Amino acid sequence: MHVMIIGAAGMIGRKLAQRIAADGVLNGTAVRKISQYDVVAPEGGDVQVADLCAPSVPALLVAQRPDVIFHLAAIVSGEAEADFDKGYRVNLAAVQALIEAIRAVPEYCPRVVFTSSIAVFGAPFPEKIGDDYHLTPRTSYGTQKAIAELLLDDYSRRGILDAVSLRLPTVCVRPGRPNLAASGFFSNIIREPLAGKEAILPVSDSVRHWFASPASTIGFLIHAAGLSGAALGHHRALSMPGLSCTVAEQIEALRDVVGQDAVDLIRVVPDETVRGIVANWPQDFVTPRAHALGFVAENSFDDIIKRHIVDELGGEAS
Amino acid sequence: MHVMIIGAAGMIGRKLAQRIAADGVLNGTAVRKISQYDVVAPEGGDVQVADLCAPSVPALLVAQRPDVIFHLAAIVSGEAEADFDKGYRVNLAAVQALIEAIRAVPEYCPRVVFTSSIAVFGAPFPEKIGDDYHLTPRTSYGTQKAIAELLLDDYSRRGILDAVSLRLPTVCVRPGRPNLAASGFFSNIIREPLAGKEAILPVSDSVRHWFASPASTIGFLIHAAGLSGAALGHHRALSMPGLSCTVAEQIEALRDVVGQDAVDLIRVVPDETVRGIVANWPQDFVTPRAHALGFVAENSFDDIIKRHIVDELGGEAS
């Protein structure tokens, strides 16, 4: 089993490679090779530099005939909105180049696990977004992900490849430093207080959103790699299970797990821009298809926090 | 008002140009020019040859700054399925080339009316397909149309152009000679008997499908050209109203309008291939968005037949 991870330098890519290396198997088969590529390669790691947007690079990668390709590489939502050309190049043209390179290899039909996003859905929403709700992206990022889903469905139906597209919930608690993503605060208000630091909450605590932990997210990707195409049928895009909760419920969970001292480190500083962006984000889903296919996520935000403490803080909040 | 029709040599393109020329106005404004382009140009007509897939052609067309562009050009479903590259080139890459050419023209934001298709939906279906049902194409043609819808939504949201995508019902009664399209029999079993000729019915008369007359279809296109972007909102793709009826109801209408002699010209010759294809086609829709925006179609198949007799047979069946 040769596993290739494209977009391996990101948080999810690194955790995925670690998990597969630790497991030593994928889909019940021994992993003999994990190829990791990204446009940037952190020093000292196993990630090799490869820009999928450059001519011939997709063909070179695919010529290795990996059995499973995790395609995680993407420009994030904010950047795809700010830089129209770069967004379409990285999030759409590079995906097209990859799947066309696969099509050019004779008698080769790899499992492709693609990270789509709940950004394929835009406001107005039903109370819960079901598995047959239409694609209504309100960003170029969401549009690019939705188009990639459709292409992967058609290429799968044609037998060119064997795709699974996962619409990932917002990953929370995201480790590392606070970042500038509009969704960053959902993680910041948990991670920073757990480390004894102050965090800013820019929206009302009534805001509701859809979450899964990094560990669950890695679990989705691993599980997707092993699903049978027959079980998936024609429609290869799946909204992943997650946990719908409000910011108030996140804070309540923080209080439950580590106490009021942590909660006191959250400072409310309203930001109308962030509030406006978040108002157009999905709040809740029902995901019967993913459940039936065996995907699982957390049931409580307490569990998400406890998982973060175990995985990132050595089992103890400061 | 300068109107451009791309894909002007087809049945819909020709009827659309005739209608606009006869009206002399579009959206209440006098039409000073109708530019007609297609990859083939029938002799003696006003259609000019232009292949949107050729480099620089989209830029040359768009440099004329038409106020309204009807983009009707497409490879049909069967051909897009048989020729993968041609389908993606004509139905997707050419659309991308056109909208990128529009993006390159400064201070220009034309109304683009795009003919999508109910082929963006594939089996299994709900009893009636609603306005918020997800895109589930089961053909490369349907995939290409769905992707074009998403691109046109995003380019509209960005203010690059001002699109309306119409998911057209099956056009029936289609004038002209019987063709080999799998859907051809829906028209053949009406048009041929009306002309005193025999027609083949390859499926069970319990088959249900979604229809609009050529006249209604032209009406959709004209109406779409005049809709305000504000009324349309973010989601520019609309399932068009139509008439859901079974083959038995089509035949009953033929009996009503012209009598049993015409019905006796229909010969049942089951074709398992056609039956299999048709089994995956949509049967019925509810289209509240299109109705609210003022689109109208026939309410009975009798009306569709009567319309054909007036428009194509000079008012009299043979």
Between chains, do B137 and A147 touch, taking CB under 8 Å as contact?
Answer: no
Determine, yes or no, domain membership for B262. Answer: no
Alpha-carbon gap, residue A286 to A294, rounded angstroms: 14
Between chains, do B158 and A137 touch, taking CB under 8 Å as contact?
Answer: no
Determine, yes or no, domain membership for B24. Answer: yes
Residue-wise pLDDT for B148-181, tens only, equals 999 999 999 999 999 999 999 999 999 988 876 7
DSSP 3-state of B201: strand
Same domain? A149 vs A217: yes
Select from A277, A4, A238 the least CA-distant residue to A115: A238
Between chains, do A158 and B134 touch, taking CB under 8 Å as contact?
Answer: no
Same domain? A75 vs A188: no
B134: nearest CB among A122, A133, A138: A133
Determine, yes or no, domain membership for A317. Answer: no
Between chains, do B154 and A133 touch, taking CB under 8 Å as contact?
Answer: no
Same domain? A60 vs A36: yes
Give yes or no for residue A247 having a pLDDT over 80: yes
Q: How far is A187 from chain B (nearest CA, A)?
A: 29
Same domain? A148 vs A202: no
Residue-wise pLDDT for B178-198, tens only, equals 876 788 999 999 999 999 999
Domain containing residue B25: CATH number: 3.40.50.720
Q: Identify all chain A residues contacting B131, using CB atoms and an 8 Å cutoff.
A: 134
Q: Identify all chain A residues contacting B237, using CB atoms and an 8 Å cutoff.
A: none
Indicate which residues of A carry an active-site annotation. 141
Q: Any idea which residue has 């993606």 for tokens?
A: B88
Same domain? A100 vs A231: yes
Same domain? A44 vs A145: yes
Determine, yes or no, domain membership for A293. Answer: no
Which pair of tokens denotes residue B253? 């209408």
User: What is the band of A190 on the pLDDT scale with cuts at 50, 70, 90?
Assistant: very high
Q: How far is A289 from chain B (nearest CA, A)?
A: 14
Instruction: Indicate the residue type of A156.
Output: S
Q: What is the ipTM of this complex?
A: 0.95
Alpha-carbon gap, residue A174 to B179, rounded angstroms: 58
Give yes or no for residue A284 having a pLDDT over 90: yes
Residue-wise pLDDT for A85-143, tens only, equals 999 999 999 999 999 999 999 999 999 999 999 999 988 889 999 999 999 999 999 99
Between chains, do B143 and A151 touch, taking CB under 8 Å as contact?
Answer: yes
Determine, yes or no, domain membership for B116. Answer: yes
Interface list for A 92-111 with B (CB within 8 A): none
Domain count, chain B: 1
Residue-wise pLDDT for B81-125, tens only, equals 999 999 999 999 999 999 999 999 999 999 999 999 999 998 888
> Which DSSP string do the residues of chain A spell out, in sequence order?
-EEEEESTTSHHHHHHHHHHHHH-EETTEE--EEEEEESS--TTSSEEE--TTSTTHHHHHHTT--SEEEE-----HHHHHH-HHHHHIIIIIHHHHHHHHHHHSTT---EEEEEEEGGG--SS--SSB-TTBPP---SHHHHHHHHHHHHHHHHHHTTS-EEEEEEEPEE-SPPSS--SSTTHHHHHHHHHHHTT--EEE-S-TT-EEEEE-HHHHHHHHHHHHH--HHHH-S--EEEPP-EEEEHHHHHHHHHHHH-HHHHTTEEE---HHHHHHHTTS---B--HHHHHTT----S-HHHHHHHHHHHHSTT---
What integer pLDDT is reported at residue B177 of this predicted model? 85
Peptide bond into A124 cis (omega under 30): yes
The distance from CA A8 to its chain's CA centroid, rounded to whole angstroms, is 12
Same domain? A126 vs A204: no
Same domain? A151 vs A234: yes
Q: Which residues, in sequence order, are CB contacts of A184 under 8 Å at separation 6+? A: A174, A178
How many residue contacts between A and B have a Cβ separation below 8 Å? 54
Determine, yes or no, domain membership for A142. Answer: yes
User: What is the band of A46 on the pLDDT scale with cuts at 50, 70, 90?
Assistant: very high
Q: What is the mean pLDDT of chain A?
A: 95
Provide, rounded to the nearest whole percent, the portion of chain B with pLDDT above 70.
100
Residue-wise pLDDT for A115-131, tens only, equals 999 999 988 889 999 99
B199: contact with A, CB 8 A cutoff? no
The pTM score is 0.96
Alpha-carbon gap, residue B183 to A119, rounded angstroms: 36
What integer pLDDT is reported at residue A182 of this predicted model? 81
Indicate which residues of B carry an active-site annotation. 141
Between chains, do A154 and B143 touch, taking CB under 8 Å as contact?
Answer: yes
Name residue A245's beta-bridge partners: A209
User: What is the band of A44 on the pLDDT scale with cuts at 50, 70, 90?
Assistant: confident
Same domain? A130 vs A201: no
Domain containing residue A250: CATH number: 3.90.25.10
| Domain boundaries, position A246 | 184-210+242-283+298-312
Most B CBs within 10 Å: which of A89, A134, A287, as the mutation test of the B interface?
A134
- Stated as kind and residue range, the H or E segment containing B211 is strand B208-212
Which sign, positive or negative, has the C-alpha torsion B168, B173, B177, B179?
A: positive
Same domain? A190 vs A70: no
DSSP 3-state of B170: strand
Mean pLDDT in residue range A68-84: 93
Interface list for B 122-161 with A (CB within 8 A): 122, 126, 131-138, 140, 143, 146-147, 150-151, 153-154, 157-158
Query: Is-contact B201 B268, C-beta < 8 A?
Result: yes
What integer pLDDT is reported at residue B287 of this predicted model? 98
Give yes or no for residue B22 having a pLDDT over 90: yes
User: What is the band of A42 on the pLDDT scale with cuts at 50, 70, 90?
Assistant: confident
Q: Identify all chain A residues contacting B84, using CB atoms and an 8 Å cutoff.
A: 158
Nearest residue of B to residue A236 by CA position? B136
Provide, rounded to the nearest whole percent, the portion of chain B with pLDDT above 90.
89
Same domain? A41 vs A61: yes
Which pair of tokens denotes residue A190? 């948990």
User: What is the band of A179 on the pLDDT scale with cuts at 50, 70, 90?
Assistant: confident
A234: nearest CB among B134, B138, B150: B138
Determine, yes or no, domain membership for B300. Answer: no
Same domain? A126 vs A262: no
User: H-type helices in chain B, by residue range?
Assistant: 11-23, 57-62, 77-82, 84-88, 94-104, 140-157, 184-194, 214-226, 229-232, 247-258, 260-263, 272-278, 288-292, 301-312
Determine, yes or no, domain membership for B302. Answer: no
